[in-house]
A and B are shown apart, each in its own frame.
Chain A
Amino acid sequence: MAATIPAIACLGVIGRNNNPLHITIFPSYDPKTNTASTPVRTPLQFSLLLSSSLDVFDLRLRTTSSASVSGDLGLLHAIDERLAVYGFETNTGTRLVAVIDMRGRRADARVAGGKGAAAAAVVGLREGEMKPVFKAMQTAYVKLLQNPFYDPDEHSPPTGVGGKRITSRLFAEDMRRIGETWMPGVTSL
């Protein structure tokens, strides 16, 4: 089995009303075919995964007395040995969720990063390793909000029910770029 390193399997943006705003799914490395072509789960399973991460957001809100200043909730939970869910909540209640596949990428695919030697050793994740992901996601989201044609109330209506999805192509591209470039040890995206 070729050495693998963690990679992003899915990025999700969830609105204030717990409504999905955006979901991007990334293919994971498959040792059988030795390629990264298919995602590790089906889109429906990813939807369920993102939705169940909302439970954890709610729980954190209940158990931690004071809201974390940075909004970074760190590890929400791990589903199994492969998939772990990390979360971030913005001040406006938008949740950014990253699903990490701990064996999502082949270690030697990292040669381009120039840190190939270190790559093989990476099995876990350090405390702040997800920070750049959320920072980049937030930047992309802020960029989206700055678009005058994007009406946040349309996507998370103040009535508290539902909302439209994000259709911005630029935003989707940003998400794709973040998901594809992130790997453990990357400090900025």
Chain B
Amino acid sequence: MDDFPRASLDHNIPLLVTLGIPSDESPYDASPEPAFKDQATLLRSDEPILDSDQARALLGYILDHDASDLPWNAMQDAVSKYKFRVRTAARSLLLPPRRARLPDDIGPPLSSTVLHSPFSPLSPVSPLYPDGLIDCRWLRKHQELVPSVLLSFYMLSSDPTQATLRDNRIKSDINALKNALVQSGYKTRLAVVVLGDQKRSSADGVQERLENIRKICGIDTKSFFFVPTQESQDELERIAENTLTTIYAHATEYYRDLGRHARKKRSRGVAPQPSVPPTSGTSRSLSLQDWNVRYDFKSAIFAEYRQEMDAAYRSFEQAYENLLSSEVVELIPSWSPRWNEARLLADIIAIRSLRCLLWNGQTTAAVRRWQLHRDRISDLVESRGSGTNNYGWEAWEARWATIMANLLERVKLPDLAPATLALYAQPEKAAMGDRLRPWDLLHHPGYWYHIAATHLIRRRAFALAIPEDDRRPPDSSPASKVAGKAFSYDTYMCPEPHEEYPIPGFKGTKHSELIVDCLMKARSEFQKRQQLRMAAELSLECGREYTAVQDWQSIVLLLEPLWRDMSFRTEGWLDIAEDLSWGLRTAASHVGRADLVLTIDWELLNRCFANRRNWHCNLSKSLDGIDVEFKPTVKIHDGNVLSFLSTSFVFRTEEGKAGQTAQAQLSITSNAHPGSAPIILDRLQVDFAGSIRPLVLEHKEDSAGPRRKHRDVIFSEVSLQERAGQNTEEDNPLSAAGHATTASLYGDVDLTLAPGHTLVFAMDIPLREPGEANAASTRFSISQDAFDLEYVARFQESTVPDYWYVSAASRKLMSRSNAHSIHILPRPPKMEIKQLAVPDEFYTSESIELRFELVNAEDENASTKMDVVLRGEELSPCVLEVEGHDNPCPAEAGEQESIVQGVSLGTIGTAKSTVVTLRIEPYAMSTQFELTLQATYHLESDTATSIIQTAIFQVNVVNPFEASYDLLPRLHPDPWPTLFVYEGPDADDTLVKIPKGLSQSWCLVTRYASFAAAGLLVKDVDVSIRAPPSVRCFTTKKQGLPEGGREVRPKTIEEAAFDLVAKKMSLDDRTAASLDASFIIKWSRLSDAEGPVNTTVLPVPRLNIFGIEPRVLGSVSYVRDLVVLQITIENASNHFLTFGLGLEPSEEFAFSGSKQTTLHLLPVSRRSVTYRLLPLVRGEWVRPALVVRDKYFQKVLRVIGTEGVKMDKEGFLVWVPPEEEDDVNQGGD
């Protein structure tokens, strides 16, 4: 935009010139056109200039609100009510003449001669004369020379003596100004500001005086302002604001008048005649169409002054259409300078139209307008000019794109501000529905600059094609040629061919500079919007331009940062990376940056980049032709480049043990270009994280060691030697952290690596300390005569499985990931903890003894300590006894665990053993617990390292027996005591109380089974009864066990019966009683019959006796053939009870006894009824249908069988023995 003439593109805002207060800022430039100076109208004021602080503050405020540099968008309208371009003049200014003089060489003016403005094509003095359309001088006249408002400042004197005099002077001065203005012919409005003097004067007098001045001078109230003295800054600003707002209305009015005037002239419909008819040139004067363009353009400009952008746009479009119509521009011959002037005017109009559109936020319309102008001009140039296939057209295209970018920068569209990160503006509503072309969406300036750059590149291409003849300066080539090329090149706003592409030795256009400038501007726009890849792309293009001008230093500066953290490489855009690398390499080799050259060469050796022809593919030749002062040392990290060397380090197994060696393989694969020179590595060092010492492989040609080759794989086994580090780097952080010493593992191998080959080195790595270890990095060192190079590759955690080479020919996939790491286990303990002969299970009530043997399998004596931990519920106390030591160690009992800690076992000699015994008190309940034995020992040779061996045992304690119980009633033989015998008081002193109450007899039958896994020997059984004090109880075992006990096999049931006789102490006590009984089994293990006798106590469910209800007991005895059935009814209650007995006849027996009878029972008494049965069947159970009924309650009582009587659901059954056993009396008592 800077290429256009001054003022041609500025946004027009009303011009305000202040008079009376001097200022250095933006002075009114009175002499832009020296030609007019003698004719210019001088406006002069004789009043002294104002120099008070107040006046300066006022002017300062006005100047601050100069709107010349505001962004070109409608946002500003809301902020400020006025817009002025402010110029200051002290006391005088020159206005350009209204009428041009006729040139002297033209004869005396005819009477009919009409003089026109010097800016008009009608005046012979104007450069436009006779057929120019309009030029920037006219624009400048309005923008810079002719103010819309002249703001004159005066000071009101406060001295009463001089007041009238001074006031009159002001009046005459104002009048003089007014007259001068009228004389000048311009309709500039005059506004007056009167400032009050410093000293306060009476308010009424001032008002009067002001009114007087105003009236005398005939000034409108709206053009007359007063600033009282000593107002505060705020107040001053308010007044200034008011003043400016008011006079802005005048300014608008001024330009409206001018616009109206232009339209009036247009509507006249006749082309005015020049002052003097043209005689030179084509002697062509402007046609009506031409005049219409001029008038429309003027209307548009005046509309712009009024900030009526819509109106301006319409007028501009009208002017544009007319200008490019067949009647205006097509009539101008293309050789004439007017042709280029017309093109310039078209450009100016188009740019101003674009600004109008952007002003209103019509972004899509603006882009379309931009394209339309480009297309129109291109058509025009194609048909009338010199076509579009030349550098001039491309120069214009580039300019046209740049203009859009510049416009966008000036307009500052809020939608496209960098902070919004928006790349393009959304289309305005009007354009929304259409089929939008993507480019119709207004993109940010970066894109426009980029387009400009591409056009500039094309322009250069055209320029380079200029034939040499045309490139000669005009003075050195024949005149005919100069004339010839004047028409064959489009030189609109661009240099002549001899400057566009000068022959060597002459100055001319520097295309690369222009291109780089555009690209850099674009790049900064893209960077502002976080389009970093785009910016990188532009840097790359810039680099190409620098290459063209061989500015190597700039390339390095520009591309090196890009190359260093290049996202293209890591993201896999290798073609881009390659392009960048080559560009940088070329520059670096010229600048002498050996490090860059080497690093880039290292990277480019990778096969994934294309191999360039003419490239040596040999690292050792990289520095050929580069001057370096000293031998460079280059360090390359794998993160920075895409190296052609890939390494993997694999441990055979996931785990290893300290003190042993681990099999490992290092494989190096070269992905260099096939055909490139083999690389010879001098030294290769693998550093480990963890406790493994660095591994150093050194190159030795024809090194010893088996070496097998199969296709591309070379497999060799390396024997490593541990040596103190000789020349390991001191700055190696890994070894410094891992080791106090710098001992390394050394091996000699052949490290020649041909492209595509893989070197595999198999080795045994000694492991030292427990922990995690992994191969951290590999360092390749290459020493050449010309340079030293070190390449460091880190091993990454990866999911890609590595290979394990079984041999050169075969390899297998490692199934685990991260095969470069190994878990080193501690040195394995060789102390053994053995449990000595134990039974399968332990039983409750048995004291448990566990014996363990500690066998020292180490090669040395070991001083050992022992910890024992028992974990379980309700642990019994336990003690640990050590063989050969006297005092056992009791365990510290806790809730969940009991611990014996730190029992010293002394030194156990190698291959010797020690036995410890753990004794645990018997458990009452079945349980289980976990026993942990931990032997901590250290060898005599290495007392610092403790070695730990742990053994865990599960111990189960189970119940050996379970039992079930039956309590059967029996008939107590003794008669009941009677109520009628007085018991007498108990003698307190008697030791043994004699029970005097009721007694009952029972039989307790116990069945016990062994649940032990092994056979047990039951030595004795017993019942222990705990009776309440009111009851006395006796038990007798019915059958004793055989001498030496009974052997009880697992899962067999044994029975033991006990007679139980209970007596109440007192007859008065007739409540029920319950007995707590327990069953006691004394036993020992069958396997260990002589061992201790264990006592298992099994609780018996509570026994309830002495019920208060009457009971009916049936007992049976046999007398020869007869069965004697005795029914005994016991009434233990305090009531008199009556029972009815009835025995039904049966087919199974005959009986004697009362078939039906009534029995009366006194309180606390019992009675028996006897039936004698003659059984009719033998060897069977018979069921006597005997019913005992409580007469009072009408309740049938159940007959409870005693010995020899069987009970079932329906009643009781009596056994009739078979015949031959008749005489045997079964069980009768």
Contacts and interface: CB of A to CB of B under 8 A. Distances in A.
Contact of A78 (B439, B526, B534): B439
Contacts of B529: 59
Given A63-B422, A124-B434, A124-B436, A162 B572 contact: yes
Contact of A47 (B436, B575, B796): B575
Contacts of B570: 161-162
Contacts of B568: 51
Interface string A49-69: 001101110110011000000
A84 interface: yes
A52 B435 contact: no
Nearest to B371: A81
B799 A125 contact: no
B377 interface: no
B799 A162 contact: no
A56 to B, nearest CB: 6
B1042 interface: no
A51 B437 contact: no
A124 B798 contact: no
B443 interface: yes
Interface in A85-132: 100, 102, 122-126
Given A51-B573, A51-B576, A153-B799, A124 B440 contact: yes
10 contacts: A55-B526, A55-B530, A55-B531, A58-B530, A75-B424, A77-B438, A124-B436, A157-B799, A158-B799, A159-B796
Interface string B447-473: 100110010000000000000000000
B533 A55 contact: yes
A172 B788 CA distance: 45
A6 to B, nearest CB: 9
A63 B421 contact: yes
Query: Secondary structure at chain B's binding surface: helix, strand, loop or mixed?
Result: helix
Interface of A: 17-20, 43-44, 47-48, 51-52, 54-56, 58-59, 62-63, 75-81, 84, 100, 102, 122-126, 153, 157-159, 161-163, 165
A162 B571 contact: yes
Interface in B904-960: none
Contact of B534 (A52, A126, A157, A161): A52
A102 B424 CA distance: 18
Given A78-B424, A79-B447, A123-B435, 12 more contacts: A19-B572, A19-B573, A20-B573, A44-B579, A63-B421, A77-B443, A79-B450, A81-B439, A124-B438, A125-B435, A161-B570, A162-B571
A78 B447 contact: yes
B567 interface: yes
Given A55-B534, A78-B447, A84 B571 contact: no
Contacts of A19: 571-573
A141 B1094 CA distance: 80
A86 B420 CA distance: 20
Nearest to A50: B573
A59 B530 contact: yes
Given A52-B531, A78-B424, A47 B576 contact: yes
Contacts of B424: 75, 77-78
Interface in B110-142: none
Contact of B537 (A48, A126, A157): A48
A59 to B, nearest CB: 5
A34 to B, nearest CB: 18
B798 A44 contact: no
Given A55-B530, A102-B437, A44 B575 contact: yes
A59 B441 contact: no
Contacts of A125: 435-438
Interface in B521-535: 526, 529-534
Query: Taking each of A54, A55, A84, A125, which has the highest tally of chain B beta carbons within 10 Å of its own beta carbon?
Result: A55
Nearest to A184: B435
A52 B575 contact: no
A102 B863 CA distance: 89
Nearest to A46: B575
B380 to A, nearest CB: 16
Query: Taking each of B438, B531, B570, which has the highest tally of chain A beta carbons within 10 Å of its own beta carbon?
Result: B438
A93 B423 CA distance: 22
B531 A59 contact: yes
B540 interface: yes
A48 B568 CA distance: 9
A45 to B, nearest CB: 9
Contact of B567 (A18, A100, A159): A18
Sorted from nearest, which 3 A-B pairs have the closest CB atoms?
A: A84-B438, A124-B435, A19-B572
Contacts of B437: 78, 81, 84, 102, 123-125
Interface string B558-573: 0000000001101111
A17 to B, nearest CB: 6
Contacts of B454: 80
B435 A126 contact: yes
A56 B571 contact: no
Nearest to B454: A80
Nearest to A163: B572
B375 to A, nearest CB: 11
Given A51-B568, A80-B447, A163-B572, A102 B533 contact: no
A47 to B, nearest CB: 5
Contacts of B450: 79-80
Contacts of B575: 43-44, 47
Nearest to A154: B800
Query: Taking each of A62, A81, A125, A165, which has the highest tally of chain B beta carbons within 10 Å of its own beta carbon?
Result: A81
Nearest to A21: B572
B576 A48 contact: yes
Nearest to A81: B439
Contacts of B798: 159
A78 B533 contact: no
Contacts of B436: 124-126
A126 B534 CA distance: 26
A123 B421 CA distance: 28
Given A19-B572, A77-B424, A56 B447 contact: no
Contact of A75 (B422, B438, B576, B796): B438
A52 B571 contact: no
Nearest to A122: B435
A19 B441 CA distance: 29
B533 A17 contact: no
A33 B763 CA distance: 66
A80 B438 CA distance: 9
Interface string B410-446: 0000000000111110000000001111111101000
Contacts of A158: 799
A163 B608 CA distance: 13
Interface string B512-548: 0000000000000010011111100100100000000
Contacts of A100: 438
Contacts of A123: 435, 437
Contacts of B420: 63
A62 B576 CA distance: 26
B828 to A, nearest CB: 36
Interface in B1073-1105: none
Contacts of A48: 533, 537, 540, 576
A89 to B, nearest CB: 16
A100 B437 CA distance: 11
B867 to A, nearest CB: 46
Nearest to A44: B575
Contacts of B796: 159
A75 B441 CA distance: 10
Contacts of A76: 423
B451 A80 contact: yes
Nearest to B577: A47
Nearest to A123: B437
Nearest to A162: B572
Nearest to A84: B438
Contacts of A163: 572
Nearest to A153: B799
Contacts of B422: 63
B447 A62 contact: no
